[in-house]
Amino acid sequence: MRATTIHDTRDIRVSEVPDPIIEAPTDAIVRVTAACICGSDLWPYRGENEITPGSTIGHECIGVVEEVGSDVNDVAPGDFVIVPFCHCDNTCAHCQAGVQSACVNASMTSSGQAEYARVGQADGSLVRTDGIPDPAMFPSLLALTDVMATGWHAAVAAGVRPGGTVVVVGDGAVGLCGVLAASVMGAERIVAMSRHEPRQQIATAFGATHLVAERGKEGGQAVKEITGGVGADAVLECVGTKDAMDLSFAVARPGATVGFVGVPHGVELPIGRMFSKNVGLAGGIAPVRRYLPELLGLVTSGRIDPGKVFDLSLPLAEVAEGYRAMDERRAIKVMIEP
CATH 3.40.50.720 domain position(s) in the chain: 150-283
How far is residue 38's CA from residue 150's CA, in Å, rounded to a whole number? 12
| Eight-class DSSP state of 223 | H
Residues paired with 108 in a beta bridge: 86
Do 212 and 219 contact (CB within 8 A), yes or no?
yes
Q: Under CATH, which number does the domain 2-146+288-337 receive?
A: 3.90.180.10
Comparing C-alpha atoms, which of 252, 290, 246 is closest to residue 152? 290
> What DSSP string describes 4-39?
EEEEETTEEEEEE-PPP---STT-EEEEEEEEE--G
CATH 3.90.180.10 domain position(s) in the chain: 2-146+288-337
Q: List the pLDDT tens digit at each of the 338 positions of the chain.
A: 999 999 999 999 999 999 999 999 999 999 999 999 999 999 999 999 999 999 999 999 999 999 999 999 999 999 999 999 999 999 999 999 999 999 999 999 989 999 999 999 999 999 999 999 999 999 999 999 999 999 999 999 999 999 999 999 999 999 999 999 999 999 999 999 999 999 999 999 999 999 999 999 999 999 999 999 999 999 999 999 999 999 999 999 999 999 999 999 999 999 999 999 999 999 999 999 999 999 999 999 999 999 999 999 999 999 999 999 999 999 999 999 98
Q: What is the value of pTM for the model shown? A: 0.97
How far is residue 249's CA from residue 237's CA, in Å, rounded to a whole number? 9
Do 169 and 236 contact (CB within 8 A), yes or no?
yes
C-alpha 61: how far from chain center:
12
Q: Hey, what's the torsion of the CAs at 13, 334, 56, 48, to 10 degrees?
A: 90
Instruction: Supply the pLDDT for residue 338.
Output: 87
Cα 222 to Cα 82, 167, 177, 212, 233: the distances in Å are 39, 11, 22, 7, 16
How far is residue 284's CA from residue 157's CA, in Å, rounded to a whole number? 9
- Measured between alpha carbons, how far apart are the two ends of the chain, in Å? 10
Superfamily of domain 150-283: NAD(P)-binding Rossmann-like Domain (3.40.50.720)
